[in-house]
Amino acid sequence: MESNLMAGALNVATAAALEAGKLITQNITQLDRIQVTKKVGTKSRTELVSEIDLMAERTIIEFLDSSYPEFNVLSEEAGDLGRDSEYCWVIDPMDGTHNFLHGHPHCCVSIALKFQGEAVVAVVYDALRNELFTARKGGGAQLEGRRIRVSENSRLSDSLLCTGFPYREGSETKLWLKTFAALMPRAQSIHRTGSSVLDLAYVACGRYDGFWEFGLKEWDIAAGALLVREAGGLVTDISGSTDADKSGNVVAGAPKVHEKLNHILSNIK
């Protein structure tokens, strides 16, 4: 993909994320007026979507389509638009909906652009903290325009890790409980924030040393994974494959911490 096209796509994605972020900041203090429903096709009480998710999604897609109408779109709420293109926007209009609906200021807008299945542009915007994370393939990762790097920590015992609870009961929940039990006594501390995208962004800038979660979707991974890789970190699934987008089981971190994390996780059955 040409560097000029990447730069232009990053600018457009940034503008789209900033505009969607306004909806989050304007509405988090008016939660009693926001309509919330269960996602279509699910019976789970945890699979919720708010009208702000939907409004943010429409805003983002309109922005992106105004400049790149031929690009395909894969978004959490709208699904796959099915356009025949080598380029695909991967969008989570608001990662951390449960936090938002409780007035907890930890959620973000996530936009990635994939070319032939590989993420080449990433924008993650935390509107409530006004923090903008961006990355281009081969161009590094930035926070507010400043270059960021993963932590230099190499010891799991000194590591602040982050994880996410599985949303659906079943084998993933049982496996996750085993992994938490294995890592809790080995790490310095473990957080759970409710936004996998921000977790990965925090790994990219060194706030977390490592992260793992199971059952994620492509829009939960694409932008954050590029941030981590461009910041010098590693992102794989439990088997060590770099194609974590397909499995949805993600292990990320600073290189030495990732190595230790993956070794422990891959040996848990």
Residue 41, pLDDT score: 57
- Tokens representing 200 are 């990965």
Q: Please state which CATH number belongs to domain 156-266.
A: 3.40.190.80
User: What element of type H or E holds 256?
Assistant: helix 255-266
Q: Which CATH number fits domain 3-147: 3.40.50.300, 3.30.1780.10, 3.30.540.10, 3.40.710.10?
A: 3.30.540.10
**pLDDT per position as a tens digit, 218-232:** 999 999 999 999 999
**Residue with tokens 């699904």, as numbered in its chain:** 79
164's CB contacts (< 8 A; 6+ apart) are 192, 193, 194, 196, 199, 213, 216
Domain with CATH 3.40.190.80 in the chain: 156-266
pLDDT of residue 241: 79
> Where exactly does CATH 3.30.540.10 map onto the chain?
3-147
**111 with 91: CB under 8 angstroms?**
yes
Instruction: From first to last of the 269 residues of the chain, give the pLDDT tens digit.
Output: 778 888 999 999 999 999 999 999 999 998 888 888 766 655 555 667 789 999 999 999 999 999 999 999 999 889 999 999 999 999 999 999 999 999 999 999 999 999 999 999 999 999 999 999 999 999 999 999 999 999 999 999 999 999 998 876 666 788 899 999 999 999 999 999 999 999 999 999 999 999 999 999 999 999 999 999 999 999 999 877 777 777 789 999 999 999 999 999 999 87
pLDDT tens digits for range 20-43: 999 999 999 988 888 887 666 555
